[in-house]
Amino acid sequence: MLGLDFPTVRADLDFAGAHFPDVAVRYKGNGTFMESRGSLKRSLKIDLNDGFPGRKLDGVTKLNLHNCVTDASRMNEVLSHRLFRDAGVPAPRTAYAEVFLTVPGQHERRYLGLYSLVENVDNSFASDRYGTKKGALFKPVTRQLFEDLGPDWAAYRQSYDAKTPVSKAETQRVIDFARLVSHAADGEFAARLADYLDLDAFARFMAVTVWLSTLDSILGVGQNYLVYLHPMTRQFHFIPWDLDHSFGQFPMVGTQEQRETLSIRQPWQGENRFLERVFRVPTFQRLYLARLREFSETIFHPDRLHRQVDELAAVLRPAVRAESEEKLARFDRVVAGEPVVRNPFGLGAGAFAGPRGSEAGTGPSLPFGFPGGFGSPPKPIKGFVTARARSVIDQLAGRAEGAVLSGPGFGGRGGRRTGEDLETPAVSARARSWGPPF
């Protein structure tokens, strides 16, 4: 997204006693790279298979090491993926890793810190979750998913970013669905939607995405998910990815209150024709709202998530302390439910009230008028899930109306308010929308 091109280098990897010589390593990320560009602790992708066909670590060929720079708790991504899996959504497995770096003559087993280790979504993932290595995987980056761009795949190629080789039939399936979304009358769209989209699977995916109020996603900027085209059913399935801004912690969009009370009936920001059309289909409405009700009584319960935070905190605390006492202090505060200021995009320490930028301080705001409450630290997990659970339950019961966010945050078309076609009217506040601060 930022036009960065990360070169690949060769290295040796030692992982829990196993030695892998000559692996391929590169940096990864957009915002997380920008925020960590002044530090050695950057997100990494390691490929065991490059040059060594068939080489795996317990069935895995690629390791994604995420530096958690946006999340002082180091838990957003791990607990969110767990929530998706608990909801029956195929989602990456996660773990943690303490990462050390040796560069001869520069660093000798230098401790970079605690990383989240996230399973790669590839054909091995598809084989494990869907029973086949075949099928196509796409990683779209577009605010207008399944928009008709014409009959030539070249117009779609960059936005849909295929992660597996794709056949003519697979790309044509994307184009055909785009035509249906863009042009079909409401009756035809409702009748044919299930031919292209697994409605129960999508209802589960959207129920968790919306409850987490993760706006750095299909709901907002149009990224951070994958789409799998199943080779037998020829239906599309959605897979979550890159959840460091989940639990309402994407302050570039909306206010804290708007993220906590995000509409369950029109949760997207601005105009999103794909979601607008799908959410108007009665069969999908019933499935989606039923999942929200079911999960609100089970996996979305705040006490359950509070316990998960406390359980993880006890395990992670020594590894965070090894990074620095200042990071440990921030970690302890967010685990307890106290917001802390972030350092967005590597701003210097002078931007904050604390003595060392992102390492300390809970200053009142960021400089240069950062938008949408961007300078006000968002609530950590415990505070957010308590407020979000109450809002969703109240919206399901018809006691409250959710917040609808207008206008795109990162370019694209302007917004318009819809949602009145769903089971309960959605009348809500509009949020300011802004472009990126770079």
pLDDT digits over 400-422, tens only?
A: 999 999 875 443 333 333 333 34
Do residues 435 and 409 lie in contact, with contact meaning Cβ atoms separated by under 8 Å? yes
Residue 367 has what pLDDT? 33
Question: Quick one: how far is CA 159 from the chain centroid?
Answer: 17
Show the tokens assigned to 283: 């069969």
437 burial via Cβ count (<10 Å: 0-12, 13-18, 19+): middle
pLDDT band of residue 73 (cuts 50, 70, 90) is: very high
**pLDDT tens for each residue of 246-287:** 999 998 889 999 999 999 999 999 999 999 999 999 999 999
What ranges in 186-242 are assigned the alpha helix state H?
A: 186-196, 199-211
Strand order in the sheet with 18-27: 9-15, 18-27, 44-47, 62-66, 107-119, 94-103
The dihedral region occupied by 29, where left means phi > 0, alpha psi between -120 and 50, and beta the remainder, is: left
Query: What is d(CA 114, CA 335) in angstroms, rounded to the nearest whole number?
Result: 16
Dump pLDDT digits (tens) for 182-209: 999 999 999 999 999 999 999 999 999 9
pLDDT at 147: 98
pLDDT of residue 33: 82
Residue 348 has pLDDT above 60, yes or no: no
- Residue 352: is its pLDDT beyond 50? no
In whole angstroms, what is the distance from residue 296 CA to residue 299 CA?
A: 7
In angstroms, rounded to a whole number, what is the distance separating the alpha carbons of residues 215 and 221?
7
Percent of the chain with pLDDT over 90: 78
Cβ proximity of 138 and 163 under 8 Å: yes
Contact 396/426 with Cβ under 8 angstroms? no
| pLDDT score of 361 more than 70 | no
Give percent above pLDDT 70 in the chain. 84
Contact 346, 38 (CB under 8 A): yes
Q: pTM of the predicted model, to two decimals?
A: 0.87
Location of structure tokens 């915002």: 31
What is the pLDDT, as a whole number, of residue 376?
A: 74
